[in-house]
């Protein structure tokens, strides 16, 4: 069934418009509360990132849930994966995240976790949307939900993260730059690494409600890269605003994306006998990841873009490790969702196991040059099916053989065809991407 409000990652938008305003969020809290109450729920956790609108939306969500008779545990600013973990720890029936992840401060969003720390089932989201169409009716005063603040949430999550690092290892002697994007990990990530022995240099740990993801974090790697080099650090962590994504920087200033991180984690799991099945990426995952895993004898499958789809394919295959090049990394042996801090700790574990620097460890995977061109087309048309476009794609694939790949993908939010070509040779990628994009433009006339 088509969704009116929920996308692949909850509900997101600009604050004050459409669905991200107090009126809508109160109604959403009530609708979610009514649906969850009908399934036996009586307690829900709410966490948020550091953007200023979080206070307003948290209050609205709390009011709606209370009106539906649901008790609320308030976590305050916490990373998205922490909310998933704490939902399970507190035996809550659901967890709610108020965050727009890597977006600017003027955006915000709502997403839900189930009792097992996974995304809500489709049927529950559909039921919530249906309930949104009903008139909001408050329960009797003696049935209203109560709210309480959970003061030790950060400490519990810090211990969970540390528990995902082998007790026989230590980070003593490693200097690590940590960029928290002025987001939800600002009071978590530096403490985790310090308590494991690292010498930590912080950046992006002074949120003011307006500076989340502003020239810092996983979507803006310049600041952390410069600091790694100036501090002569061993490596750098760059997390996004809600902490479910991570990018890394080695001591030479090279940026490692999610594909390279997944490769390192999977290879270490294989060597230590902990790898369960293969690895899941997306249609946008670099061909170098697929080739590198193949050399190790590790199976690789691609899902649609979105960590939700990576998770679905992992569960369908019975595998554990997957991710996206954007830095979402999932390891179901440790977590129930993408977790930037835990993924970073798993890379550090691999470094210590191999007794290698991050630079040396990353050399096993050759990252293929990737060219992406967006072509606007007339809404309602399908230029990707035009004979000339198909011929151009076939010619490119024939020319590159197994050393290249072509992907044509329609944007889900605007009339754009994304033309992506990757090859071992950058000039080849550029040449074929431009040729195919030109044919798509002609087909749109």
Q: Which is it for strands 246-250 and 235-239: parallel, antiparallel or unpaired?
A: antiparallel
What's the pTM value of the predicted model, to 2 decimals?
A: 0.93
Average pLDDT over residues 337-355: 97
**Residues 203 and 226 sit within 8 Å (Cβ to Cβ):** no
Helix axes 258-271 and 287-295, enclosed angle (nearest 10)? 10
Angle in degrees, CA 45, 212, 236, rounded to 5: 100
The dihedral built from the CA positions of residue 282, 287, 290 and 293, taken in this order, carries a sign that is negative
In the predicted structure, residue 392 carries a pLDDT above the cut 90 = yes
The dihedral built from the CA positions of residue 289, 295, 300 and 302, taken in this order, carries a sign that is positive
- Annotated active-site residue 101? The verdict is yes
Distance CA 117, CA 342 (A): 15
Average pLDDT over residues 316-335: 95
Average pLDDT over residues 398-410: 93
Which pLDDT belongs to residue 279? 98
Question: Helix and strand tally (H, E) in the chain?
Answer: 14, 18
* Phi-psi label, residue 405: left if phi above 0, alpha if psi -120 to 50, beta otherwise: beta
Residues 152-166: pLDDT tens digits?
999 999 999 999 999
pLDDT-derived band of residue 8, with 50, 70 and 90 as boundaries? confident
The chain-wide mean pLDDT, for the chain, equals: 95
Which pLDDT belongs to residue 413? 67
Average pLDDT over residues 182-208: 98
Which pLDDT belongs to residue 378? 83
In the predicted structure, residue 380 carries a pLDDT above the cut 80 = no
Helix axes 426-444 and 387-400, enclosed angle (nearest 10)? 170
Cβ within 8 Å of residue 314, ≥6 positions away: 280, 320, 321, 322, 330, 332
Which pLDDT belongs to residue 1? 56
Between 288 and 414, residue with greater pLDDT: 288
Distance CA 281, CA 290 (A): 9
pLDDT-derived band of residue 195, with 50, 70 and 90 as boundaries? very high
Helix axes 122-132 and 22-37, enclosed angle (nearest 10)? 120
Q: Which run of H or E residues covers position 48?
A: strand 43-48
In the predicted structure, residue 2 carries a pLDDT above the cut 70 = no
Residues 32-76: pLDDT tens digits?
999 999 888 789 999 999 999 999 999 999 999 999 999 999 999
Cβ within 8 Å of residue 385, ≥6 positions away: none
Which pLDDT belongs to residue 379? 75
Distance CA 37, CA 18 (A): 26
Which of 101, 320, 326, 336 is labelled catalytic?
Answer: 101
Among 369, 363, 370, 371, residue whose Cα is nearest residue 252: 363
Residues 80-139: pLDDT tens digits?
999 999 999 999 989 999 999 999 999 999 999 999 888 888 889 999 999 999 999 999
| Weakest mean pLDDT among 2-6, 19-23, 64-68 | 2-6
Residues 249-295: pLDDT tens digits?
999 999 999 999 999 999 999 999 999 999 999 999 999 999 999 99
């Amino acid at each position: 069934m088509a969704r009116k409000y929920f996308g692949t990652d909850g509900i997101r938008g600009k604050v004050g418009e459409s669905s991200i305003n107090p009126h809508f969020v109160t109604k959403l809290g009530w609708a979610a509360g009514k649906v969850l109450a009908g399934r036996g729920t009586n307690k829900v956790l709410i966490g948020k990132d550091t953007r200023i609108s979080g206070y307003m939306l948290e209050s609205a969500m709390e009011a709606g849930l209370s009106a539906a008779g649901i008790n609320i545990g308030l976590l305050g600013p916490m990373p998205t994966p922490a909310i998933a973990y704490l939902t399970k720890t507190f035996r809550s029936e659901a967890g709610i995240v108020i965050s727009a992840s890597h977006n600017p401060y003027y955006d915000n969003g709502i997403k839900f976790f189930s009792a097992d720390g996974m995304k809500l089932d489709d049927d529950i989201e559909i039921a919530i949307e249906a309930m949104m169409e009903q008139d909001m009716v408050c329960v009797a005063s003696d049935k209203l939900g109560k709210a309480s603040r959970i003061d030790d949430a950060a400490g519990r999550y810090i211990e969970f993260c540390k528990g995902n690092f082998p007790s026989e290892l230590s980070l003593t002697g490693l200097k690590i730059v940590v960029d928290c994007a002025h987001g939800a990990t600002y009071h978590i990530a530096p403490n985790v690494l310090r308590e494991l022995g690292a010498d930590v240099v912080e950046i992006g740990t002074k949120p003011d409600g307006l500076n989340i993801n502003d020239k810092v974090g996983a979507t803006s790697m310049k600041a952390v890269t410069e600091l790694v080099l100036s501090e002569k650090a061993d490596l750098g962590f760059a997390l996004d605003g809600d902490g479910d994504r991570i990018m890394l920087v080695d001591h030479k200033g090279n940026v490692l994306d999610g594909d390279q991180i997944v490769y390192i984690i999977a290879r270490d799991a294989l060597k230590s006998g902990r790898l369960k099945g293969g690895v899941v990426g997306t249609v946008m995952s670099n061909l170098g990841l697929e080739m590198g895993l193949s050399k190790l004898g590790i199976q690789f499958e691609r899902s649609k873009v979105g960590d939700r789809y990576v998770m679905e394919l992992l569960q369908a295959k019975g595998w554990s490790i997957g991710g996206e090049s954007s830095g979402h990394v999932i390891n179901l042996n440790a977590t129930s969702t993408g977790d930037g801090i835990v993924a970073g700790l798993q890379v550090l574990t691999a470094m210590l196991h191999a007794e290698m620097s991050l630079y040396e460890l990353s050399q096993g995977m050759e990252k293929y040059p990737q060219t992406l061109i967006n072509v606007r087309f007339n809404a309602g048309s399908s230029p990707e099916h035009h004979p000339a476009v198909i011929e151009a794609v076939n010619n490119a694939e024939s020319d590159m053989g197994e050393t290249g790949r072509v992907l044509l993908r329609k944007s889900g939010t605007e009339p754009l065809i994304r033309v992506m070509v990757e090859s071992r040779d950058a000039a080849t990628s550029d040449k074929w991407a431009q040729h195919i994009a030109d044919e798509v433009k002609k087909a749109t006339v």
